[in-house]
Amino acid sequence: MLPRAHSPLNVSARQPLLDQFGRPLRSLRVSVTDRCNLRCGYCMPQENYVWLPKEALLSFEEIARLVEVFTSLGVEDVRLTGGEPLLRRDLPHLVRMLASNPAIKDLALTTNGVQMDAQAQPLYDAGLHRVTLSLDTLRPERFASLTRRDIHAQVLAGIEAARRAGFDKLKIDTVVLRGENDDELADLVEFGRGIGAEVRFIEYMDVGGATEWSPGKVFTRAEMLERLTQRYGTITPLVENSSAPAERFRLPDGATFGIIASTTTPFCRTCDRSRLTADGLWYLCLYAQSGIDLLQPLRASASSDELAARIVAGWRARNDRGAELRKSGGERGVLVDIEQLRNDPHLEMHTRGG
């Protein structure tokens, strides 16, 4: 393992690696598969996709090696994503490998919960710190219509299994779609309260793969706050010094919730996140049109210093602020059309880890 104090190219926690806007390299989202077992309309509206070739997928050893290089350069938060990460066989094995990296302060997983019932305990035992579960509705028939899979009970069982396994800082992520589930905000807050989880409401984003996006379908942060204020009374914003994407709020009765308002209130100026796809492309922004290839040098036996040099050069040149540019760019429609997505699956949000 590369010790942080002697990391390559003299980048360490004391001397953080900064991009063009002074943002540190801190959070890495690692996609372990591009496959998913749901077909949510805001992410995977098609039934079939062009998948990454199996032989290109990073092995667990390759992922752990790359993560080690990233942590030597200042990354301390690592989140496993997909597609749906639990579709990757033996995921607890990867978690165990990453949990042994002492530079990782926060090792988290985002999942749709479908397979969590069986996997929560092995993941907890392997050393996973935190879990975020996606849940857009509490109504089984609505779930079936939103995801095109009639397995709502399985997801609820997965959430309960995560709690039982010992994950104590559970988060529930809900994408709010106008006219589809915007009437469930308070129900979801109450559901979260009942299981000791914090719910975060996410605005519908116009990223790659969202081929059904339109401005009219975005239920905005302002509307969410208005709706919840009508139900609960005055809502207080929590002032936090954090680069986390969610703004947090407190209800009069003390319950808290979050809003991730990437569409109407982008937070690019504090963005320390980058994304590694399951086949080793490193993306510096969710909206980026291309990524930096780490697979090829890795498989050509590049040294850790050589991999680090590529990462350092990429991050130092980073000037991405995709959501801000989209917001300021005037009339807004679908970001990438279906033909382009078929030609380059890396443009899909489900490939680059959402």
The smaller minimum CB distance to ligand SF4, of residues 273 and 346, is found at 273
In Å, how far are 69, 126, 330 from 99, measured between CA atoms? 15, 7, 44
Rounded to a whole number of angstroms, the minimum distance from the CB of residue 318 to ligand SF4 is 8
The smaller minimum CB distance to ligand SF4, of residues 276 and 286, is found at 286
The smaller minimum CB distance to ligand SF4, of residues 117 and 206, is found at 206
Q: Is 168 left (phi over 0), alpha (psi -120 to 50) or beta?
A: alpha
The smaller minimum CB distance to ligand SF4, of residues 65 and 350, is found at 350
Give the 3-state secondary structure of residue 256.
strand
In Å, how far are 50, 110, 246, 345 from 107, measured between CA atoms? 29, 11, 18, 27
The smaller minimum CB distance to ligand SF4, of residues 170 and 284, is found at 284
Rounded to a whole number of angstroms, the minimum distance from the CB of residue 162 to ligand SF4 is 26
Reported residue count of the chain is: 354
Q: Which residues bind ligand SF4 (CB under 6 A)?
A: 266-268, 271, 273, 285-287, 320-323
Rounded to a whole number of angstroms, the minimum distance from the CB of residue 269 to ligand SF4 is 8
Evaluate whether 219 touches 176 at the Cβ level (below 8 Å).
Answer: yes
- Sign (positive or negative) of CA dihedral 342, 344, 345, 348: negative
Rounded to a whole number of angstroms, the minimum distance from the CB of residue 323 to ligand SF4 is 4
Residue 347: phi and psi, rounded to 5, are -75, -10
The smaller minimum CB distance to ligand SF4, of residues 67 and 285, is found at 285
Helix (H) or strand (E) holding 108, with range, is strand 106-111
The smaller minimum CB distance to ligand SF4, of residues 86 and 176, is found at 176
Give the 3-state secondary structure of residue 341.
helix
- The full DSSP string for 148-180 is S---HHHHHHHHHHHHHHT--S-EEEEEEBTTT
Radius of gyration of the chain (CA): 20
Q: What are the structure tokens assigned to 273, written together? A: 């996140």
Rounded to a whole number of angstroms, the minimum distance from the CB of residue 204 to ligand SF4 is 14
Residue 27: phi and psi, rounded to 5, are -110, 135
Rounded to a whole number of angstroms, the minimum distance from the CB of residue 320 to ligand SF4 is 5
Rounded to a whole number of angstroms, the minimum distance from the CB of residue 229 to ligand SF4 is 26
